[in-house]
Chain A
Amino acid sequence: MIEVQGLGKRFGAVEAVRDLNFTVGDGEIFGLLGPNGAGKTTTVRMLAGLVVPSSGAAAINGARLGPDSQRIRGMTGILTESPGLHEKLTARQNLAYYGRLYGLSGATLRRAVDRYLGLVGLEAVGDRRVAGFSKGMRQKVAIARALLHEPQVIYLDEPTSGLDPSAAKTVRDFVSTLRNAGRSIVICTHNLDEAERLSDRIAVMRGGFLEVDTPAGLRREGRTAIVRVELAATDGEARRLLDALAGLPFVSAAKALPDGLQVEVGDPRRDNPELVAALVSRGARIVAVREQAATLEEAYLRLVGEAGERDALDISSAA
């Protein structure tokens, strides 16, 4: 469980992150989206106990950021933006080194290294130096490194970067498995499709949070959802059914289309069954019901603008 209250970070005159408030529950995946320089990496570094916040507070499974940072680093796993492996060492030696730094030793360490090399599909090349590895293989070693000590809280920065589609799917499935095992997971990504597939909630940030919602909620842009009902017979049928919708409290607007109906509802998951039931009871022959929402990309661009990188944020020169 991650609990964050008013968290902020300033590097000299530059305010990299401001006033973050959120929680990530056990078994939840929380996505961080935002342009380059939006503060995603700084946020993760603060939560991982690597960077000291300038304001606010956070607790990881009850351990407070600051006084308990060393304990926090022991209970979190982090996949950094760049794999950052030790080139001259083999994959096994890389993992064994980090296992020791996370307090594993002896048979426990060997079992953990073997298990995670197997899970990322690198057991056959575990004794080769990573200098000869492809980008995807390095990413897999880095993922194994982040999970080796079975952390309860996991931060993943671009987890499928450099992976081919099948390897990316393997990683996504694995992340879902970790969620099902009750881990709290924060994912930073520019891959909107990945964020939508994996995240239970997404925060779009640019210094501070611009909006936090479920992927479906972000797509709806905070408004009612538009549902299209495709009908088998449309000749006059749609106009007749409009009357049936008038009495439904969750329908805020409706109009007839050449091939069916367009209906605005509050929450499609909650309201669609009743909508369908009401239409069917009036004799409607429904072919399909589809939510007509904006894509996450449209919602994202609406929130952050199309300018791209955050202006004038050069942390290294400000530090």
Chain B
Amino acid sequence: MRLSYVWAVFGKEWRDLRSNRLLLGAVAMPAIIFAAIPTGLVAFIQARNLDPNQLGQIQQFIAEFPDLPAKLAAEGFIITNFMAYFLLIPAMVPMALATQSVIGEKQARSLEPQLATPMEVPELLAGKTIAAALPAVIATWGVYVAYGLVNGAIADPRLTRLVFSNVWLTAMVTLVPLICLFSVLLGIVVSSRVTDARTAQQIGGFVVLPIIAIAVAQFFGGQATFSLSQVLIGDLVVLGLIGAVLIVGSWAFDRESILTRLG
């Protein structure tokens, strides 16, 4: 794989993205929403001086933070429990960017001139993948850092340490990029088979369901957040899914089949 080609495609996609405010909004909004909800809750608890005993169902989770006073433990539970939803950002955002990129090119019929150059298909896909995944990774990491710092500032610096725990640092460094990669590849494969971005995103949207299911199961399973072993198992599962999508993708994104489907 020649990096000059990957870099050229990445540069073009990046320019495209910067000029598309709607897509930039699609990158930023989910990240902001997922961070704003728990931060708002923490600020609410902090301002109202609520008794944790009034918080009903989360009582059972407070025991997971034995070193913290009850109110801070309640806030700690909220910010760590919501962090599972941070994994939705790398699942949703790159999917939107990747499908828009491929479908947009199909509609503009701009794939053929690119495929007519000496560039190989994997180099084209690598450039597109990085361009779609990078904004999501940066958005997730940026919001993650801000989330830890803002909640520490609102309530207590010990909340910052909970956010920047070894488990979540590992998840951010490994699981987030892997989910991004899986989401992009799935978006590209789905986009190669359909003709409009909405259909592609609806089909690809199923990728968020397992993550939501895990987040909900975590809550009802009586666990405040993931363990390190669960994150590492998650890494392996996503790696396996990436392998499967790559196999399907190499067949779906063949140079000739792309062109003949374009007509």
Contacts and interface: CB of A to CB of B under 8 A. Distances in A.
Given A80-B113, A84-B108, A87-B108, A101 B118 contact: yes
Contacts of A103: 118
Interface stretch (A44-52, A205-213, A227-235, A287-295): A44-52
B198 interface: no
Interface residues of A, number: 36
Contacts of B20: 88
Contact of A315 (B114, B118, B260): B260
Given A82-B109, A84-B110, A97-B12, A50 B116 contact: yes
A72 B116 CA distance: 9
Nearest to A45: B259
B255 A84 contact: no
Interface in A167-196: none
Contacts of A315: 260, 263
B49 interface: no
Contacts of B255: 50-51
A197 B11 CA distance: 41
Main secondary structure of the interface of B (DSSP, over half): helix
Interface string A52-81: 100000000000000000110110101010
Given A80-B116, A316-B260, A97 B108 contact: no
B117 to A, nearest CB: 4
Interface residues of B, number: 29
A100 B114 CA distance: 11
A145 interface: yes
A22 interface: no
Given A85-B110, A319-B261, A51 B118 contact: no
Contacts of B5: 100-101
A11 interface: yes
Contact of A97 (B8, B116, B118, B259): B8
7 contacts: A50-B256, A70-B120, A78-B113, A80-B113, A86-B16, A105-B4, A319-B260
Interface of A: 11, 45, 48-52, 70-71, 73-74, 76, 78, 80, 82-89, 93, 97-98, 100-103, 105, 129, 142, 145, 315-316, 319
Interface of B: 4-5, 8, 11-12, 15-16, 19-20, 108-120, 255-257, 259-261, 263
